[in-house]
Amino acid sequence: MDTQVLIVGAGPTGLTLAIDLGLRGIRCMVVEQKPAPQFLPKMERCNARTMEIYRRMGIADRIRAAALPADAPMDVFIVENCVKPPLLRTHYPSVNEFRATIAKSEDGSQPLEPYQLVSQYTLEPLLKEVAESLPSVDVRFGHEFVSFEQDAQGVIAQVKSGGAMSHIRAAYLIGCDGGNSPVRRQLGIALQGDANLLQLRQALYYCEDLYERIPIGKGRHYHRADGQNSFLIVQDSTKHFTLHAVVETDADMATQFETVVGMPVKYDMLYVGQWRQNLLLADHYGEGRVLLAGDAVHLMIPTGGLGMNSGAGDAVDLGWKLAATLQGWGGPNLMASYETERRQIGERNVAASRFASSGRRKWRSMSRPNIFEDTPDAAAIRAELTRVAEIEQRKGNEMIGAELGYRYAGSPLIAEEAGAPPEHEFTTYIPSTWPGSRLPHVWLADGSAVQDRIGYDHGFTLLRVAGASDVSALSGAFAALGAPFRVLDLPDARARDVYGHDLLLLRPDMHVAWRGNALPEPEKLARMTAGH
């Protein structure tokens, strides 16, 4: 093998997967056809769950240092322009304000990390640098994936660089190569759903002083209540801005920017491109030793901010399973469970994106050509639009349930439990340790977080939250499989109150595999959770 895992695509999903594998000591290679990361905005926010993932990787602080300052407001506006009083201003906490809320939370209802506004052109180079620092990771830009062949032992990929073709042999190939994924197309896997719901132009601008000069207040999003779906986004430098709008030509994006800003500013328009809103999900997440992740398997409308963040979730689900399989202790159900677990989350997040974008469409449908006129009729339209937007716009900005409340149902790696499982809510998060759920964040009495007490490469962790149960048999069962396992004692009443059980078995990705007050048959539990 030239490498154990070949990753096609060096976007956030591919690089997050490479870091995950690198931290687990797995040899992987990332190939990317672009010569270098591009200065394009694309995604603009890592949600709370993704920042928890990056915290466990040890890079959350680096990301925040490179991104939007922690005291910057995250407010969302609906406006005529950035000068006149807004029709609606919805407050959302800055990172510092969010941190203060998290610090006081004792019931598991808050994430360990706040969200972070970070532009993709900032995040990608940083992830690349982290990946390249890991001894087992090889990142190669300027290398174009061409095709692959696979058999029962591995995959051979053809890769072109500088006009020369080479063959790379790997145990697994992972396509993190975007919505037009060549890997997915060669597998013959189709996307299902709604394509080309709306076609917009996106432009990137550099404007040195706009952020400081906006008189109506600082925020992250400025929606213009017009018929062009105009939507101005503050990028992480606060000197770059993106505008999305439905206009006829690229040149029209200059005029549209000036209209939305509403005051004379000096700016440079750095880029204009077209994009389409899609709500699509792949029929399958791979075949054999070739698997798919990120936009290659799910395309979402950015409203709700679930696209790149779903890709990060794919990466950490897939990473530990690849590592376990390649290290020899993972059973055959491990790799098969990737599609079972992550496709349901892809389907759920596509639905959440549809839900979020429906709110925006609802108030936008009320806009009229005369909406900004100084007439009683126009004033009445603005008032009604504002009333509806007060409710509907929140759907796109308050997705904490989709971010934190997802769980893996029907997985062969997760213990079944009697009773009614918690509902999947998009906008509400109720902490739960129901098997398959992300472990809720809890502060311990010494001020540390439970998640921080569990190392990245510790494998399975049994939280002994209360009591003195003898768990040596379970330790022996995991040892017989060669699977890494440790016991973490948390004699803390707060943890017991939130988690609701004396014992919780955690997977390497911090999802609950089993919970209870006494161990079931240890060998059966170990074999199930390790994929045997």
Give the residue among 526, 508, 497, 514 at the shortest CA–CA distance from 451.
508
CA distance 18 to 130: 9
Count of CB atoms situated within 10 Å of the CB of 457: 11
Which residues of the chain are under the pLDDT cut of 50? none
DSSP 8-state secondary structure symbol assigned to residue 269: E
Q: What's the pLDDT at 63?
A: 98
Q: What is the pLDDT of residue 304?
A: 86
Report the SS3 class of residue 253. helix
Strands 240-245 and 191-206: antiparallel
**Topology agreement, domain 3-68+117-192+280-349 and domain 405-529:** no
Cα 246 from Cα 276, distance rounded (Å): 11
Distances (CA, A) of 428 to 274, 380, 407: 34, 32, 14
d(CA 474, CA 468): 14
Q: What is the pLDDT of residue 455?
A: 87
CA–CA gap between residue 368 and residue 364 (Å, rounded):
9
Q: Are 329 and 482 in contact (CB under 8 A)?
A: yes
User: Taking the domain 405-529, which CATH number applies?
Assistant: 3.40.30.120
* DSSP-derived secondary structure letter, 328: T
Separation of alpha carbons 411 and 407, rounded Å: 10
Q: What are phi and psi of 295, to 5 degrees?
A: -65, -15
3-state secondary structure of 410: coil
Contact indicator for 527, 520 with CB cutoff of 8 Å: no
What's the CA gap between 156 and 165, in Å, rounded? 13
Place of tokens 């839900």: 355
Q: What is the pLDDT of residues 139-156, one digit of tens each?
A: 999 999 999 999 999 999
Distance of alpha carbon 331 from alpha carbon 9, whole angstroms: 28
Report the C-alpha gap between 106 and 121 in whole angstroms. Answer: 36
| Nearest-angstrom CA–CA distance, 59 and 67 | 13
Which tokens belong to 339?
């599609």
Q: Which amino acid is at 275?
A: W
Backbone angles phi, psi at 336, to 5 degrees: -65, -30
CA 209 centroid distance within chain? 31
Residue 146 exposed, middle or buried by CB count within 10 Å (0-12, 13-18, 19+): middle
Token digits of residue 216: 């109506």
**Residues 48-69, buried b or exposed e (16+ Cβ, 10 A)?**
bbbbbbbbbbebbeebbebbbe
Q: What share of the chain is helix, strand, coil (3-state, %, to 5)?
A: 35, 25, 40
Q: Which residues contact 85 (CB under 8 A, 6 or more apart)?
A: 216
Give CA–CA dist 368/381, Å, rounded.
8
Per-residue pLDDT, 458 = 79
Q: Write down the domain spans for the chain.
A: 3-68+117-192+280-349, 405-529
Give the pLDDT of residue 492. 86
**CA 454, 456, 457, 463: dihedral to nearest 10 degrees?**
20
Q: pLDDT digits over 203-251, tens only?
A: 999 999 999 999 999 999 999 999 999 999 999 999 999 999 999 999 9
Phi/psi for 493 (5° steps) reads -60, -35
484: Cβ contacts below 8 Å, ≥ 6 apart: 329, 457, 458, 459, 460, 478
Domain covering 3-68+117-192+280-349 in this structure, CATH number: 3.50.50.60
476-502 residues labelled b (16+ CB within 10 A) or e (exposed): ebbeebebbbeeeebebebbbebbbbb
Any alpha helices (H) in 281-414, and if so which ranges? 307-327, 332-364, 376-392, 400-404
Cβ–Cβ < 8 Å for 295, 13:
yes
Residue 467: predicted pLDDT = 76
